[in-house]
Structure formats: C-alpha cells, structure tokens
A and B are shown apart, each in its own frame.
Chain A
Amino acid sequence: MHIYLPVYLQKEPILYPGKRRELINVFESAKRKCFYYDIITYTILLGSAIVFILPVLWMFLNSLKPENLVNTRIPVVFFKPVFKHYQELLFNGRFLQSYINSIIVAIGHSLLAIIISLPAAYSFSRLHFRGKKAISYWVLLTRCLPPIGMAVPFYLVYAKLGLINTRVGLMIIYLTLNLSFGLWMLRSFIDSVPPELEEAAFIDGCNRFQVLTKITLPLITPGLISTGIYIFIVAWSEFMYAFIFTGFESKTAPVEIQSYITPMGIDWASMSAAGILIIAPTIVFYILVRKYIISGLTFGGLKE
C-alpha cells in the first residue's frame, strides 16, 4: 500500500491554512498507522516462517548429533556434527534397499501414470466425445476416495494375483491416486497450446500422430516434466498403501522409517537422518515445480 501526499495537498493555494494543516495531519496519522501495520505484517510473516521451518531444522540438527546428545532433558544446540547416522543408513542394507525400492516405485509409477494419462488429456483438451462429463466426475471421485477403503478389495485381488509384496503392485495401486492429477494437469498444459498451431500442421499434411509428436509434445515438455515430478513426489511420499501392501523385500523408505519405532525404544538420531534423506529430494523438487504446485494441490482447479 503506497500512500502519497495527494497533489492537491502539495500545492493548494486556495485552501485556507487551517484546513491544509488539518488535511496534512490526517495524512501524517495515516502514515504512522501504516508503520504500525508494517510492524504487525512483519511479525506475522517472520513468526509463521519460523514456526514452519523450525521443526525441520530441529530434525536436521538431531540427525547430526551423536546418540548421547539426542535424548537429553536440555536440548543441545551446539555440538560437533557427526555424519555417521547418514553413513550407517546409506551403507546399511535395509534402509538402502528401501530407498532404492522407493526410487524404482516412484519413477516406474510416474512413467506409467504419464503414459496412460497423456493421450487421455489430449483428447479431453482437443476433442468432443460423449460421456466426457461423466468421466470427469468419475476422475474427480477417484481423487476423493479414502485409500483405506479401496485397500480392502485391492488386498483380496492382490493376494489372488500374487502382487502383494511386489514393487509392481505398488506402482499399479498408486495409479488410483495419481491418474486424476495427471489428467487435469496435462490437460491444462495442452489447453495452453493454441489449436491454430496444430491446424497449420494439419494443412501442411501432417496426420494427428505427427502433430502430437512434432508440435504438441515439444511445446508441453516443461509441463510434462512438472507433472511427472509432482506425481513422483506423491508416490515417493505415500505411506499407507506401501505399509499395507509391501513386505520385507519391497518396503519403501517411508515404511522403513516407521520401523525404527520398536517396543525397545526409538533410535531418534537414525530416524531423523532417515527422515532428512526422505524429504530432501521432495523439497528440492517442490521448489523446482513451485509454479505448478498450486494447480496440483487444487486438483488442477486453480491456476496461478
């Protein structure tokens, strides 16, 4: 909010002096009020930023502490950092295996989701067909379903098909979470490509497939990558399906971190390090695709 001294107050010979003084007083008090509002604004912003960042920083600090400094009555803030928890995790077979599982599942799933939803998004954006509205509503509904509810029938079918405790099974079930997003997001990117470009290519004798690969796809590559990254993040962070459907060999990292909670006690330092290893890639990715995050979080509904 900018408050300027209005022109008629800067030089206004006709106003009698008292009136001018009065108006300037009003302006001065507005300016002072603005200053107080500024202080309130900055307090709110800094305070909330601290609240949002501090827990993560605290976990990061704990991941660098030797064990004896983690569970102390008085929290230790200054210490000599050790990296042995990270080393242990990365050279310890179990966590490493789960981390690799996570990478495989998330990448495989993202490719699968993109391959399935890209052509659908294209036809949603460019073509008219019957049942479009019904399909749209159905897709929205899949995004709203409670995952545990769907897990019951999936479990029975997976048990029959032998897909429990496999990474492929996980890649497939994550489609129920992400197809909706892939469709909405890719559709909005294809919408942003002007149809005239495609029509021009048609006139030059391309068929629809050539138009798709030569014109549309190159233009939406950034969108394709962002969508892929967002889907990757969802799959990477998912816990409940992974917890229900995986076993010892196919466990993903979010399931593995939870297994540090044992009746014997909790190894907080290793757990913090594992937590940091899990969230580091997603934070980086989130910042990379920040522009498109809002569209993802609002079911593709709002665009910045």
Chain B
Amino acid sequence: MSAEPVGMAAKGSAVLRGPTLRTEGLVKSFGPMPALTRVDLVARPGRVTGFIGPNGAGKSTTLRILTGLARADQGYATIDAVPYAALSRPARVLGVVGDLAGAHPGMTARGHLQTQAALIGVPGDRVDQVLEESGLHTAARRRIRGFSTGMRQRLALATALLGEPSGLILDEPTNGLDPSGIVWLRRLLRSFADAGGTVLVSSHVLTELQQVIDDLVLIEGGRTLWAGSLSEFVSDHASLEEAYLSMIEKEMACES
C-alpha cells in the first residue's frame, strides 16, 4: 500500500475544491416503518465530518438518499446545492464507499475497475494507479469471489477514488481492514480534507473516528440529535465514545 494517499498523488499540488454536502428535513418511510423523521446534516469542504448513531438510526438510508440511490419522502439532499443525480460527472465530484458487495464476484479487481473507469469516463491508466495505491496491485488478476472482506473494502475505496473526486462519502469504511489499512485510510481522509476535500464518514468505531474527524453529526431514531464540532461535542468528556454513550443514554431516558 502506498504511503501517499490515493488521489493526492494524482492531483500533484493537492488542492481540492470539495463540495458542500447537505440534507435538510429528510423524511423517509419504508412502508409503515418510519426510517427518517428529520435528518439535517452538513459536511463542509476542508473538514472530515463523522456521521454516527446506533444501529437502525438511519445513517445508511441518509447516505443512500444523499447519493441518489433512494428517494426522500420529504426534504432534500444536495451536493453543492444540486441533487447527486443531476451532477454531470458525479464520480468526479464524489467518491462513495457503501456496500462491500458492489463488485461482480466473477470479475477480477482490474476488470471491475476497468468497467467503472469506462462508465465514469476516466482513462484506463487511472486503474493501475488506484490498484497500486490501494495495495491491490498484486491481487489485480484475482477474481473478486476469492477476496477477503478487507480486500473488498480496499477495492471499494479504490473504486471511489477512480474519478479523482473532491468529496468522499464512506459508510463503515474500516470494516475488515487490517491495522495498516486503517492507518492508511486515516491518513487518506486527513490529507484529503487538509487539501480542501470534503469527507463524510459513518462509523461505529468511535475511537478510530475521534482521531480523524473535525465535525460530528449524531442521529438517533431517524432524526438529528446533535451537529457541530468534535471538540464541542466531547467537551468535558474523556473521549468521543464516552460523550456519545452519555448523550444516547440521556436520550433514551427522555424517551422512556
């Protein structure tokens, strides 16, 4: 795995103009089950924004709406004030890591990346760059069905970075990554934001998240519970994890 994060190497001077990611008043139900009741979120350029909440809080649904994979019943989700589907070259604006199973098991890693590169209109040599920098170059000719969870995650990250985007949305990106992969990802996210890119990352690994995020959005039960800077949120608590548990417990006490 390259020491220099993917995208930065290709961008050279590493100056990015990250988009502002925003949702306002998102409401979404699946049949009679409300999934989101009001999610407001902003992720700004030059910042890494953590997106946290308990299982079933609505994080993945929010990210799917933000990336055009699902429709909101009410409210809106935009990338620089434009819905994802209205972007002319979305993969060049936003790289998305969502689902581990996003690649055909019968394809090789190179074949998958070549397909994605063609779909988004980037030259084929970008495939070799992301393979090298994500540490998958030695497995480029292997079929994806034989990949470990960590290798699939690296492939998902490589796919997200193919278009050299200026924004990243990552849903549980550390799933299955080994320690060196986690460190590489942390450096990538930090340098990406420092260069002006926008990062929105959802994770349950709060100790890891605390090391990289600047801002935080906490949702619970389909609505935004808290949004602001990490330092404000942690405040007089010892850690992000402690502050999170304290707030969730208070919320549950209020509900009961």
Answer yes or no: are A and B bound together in one complex.
Answer: no
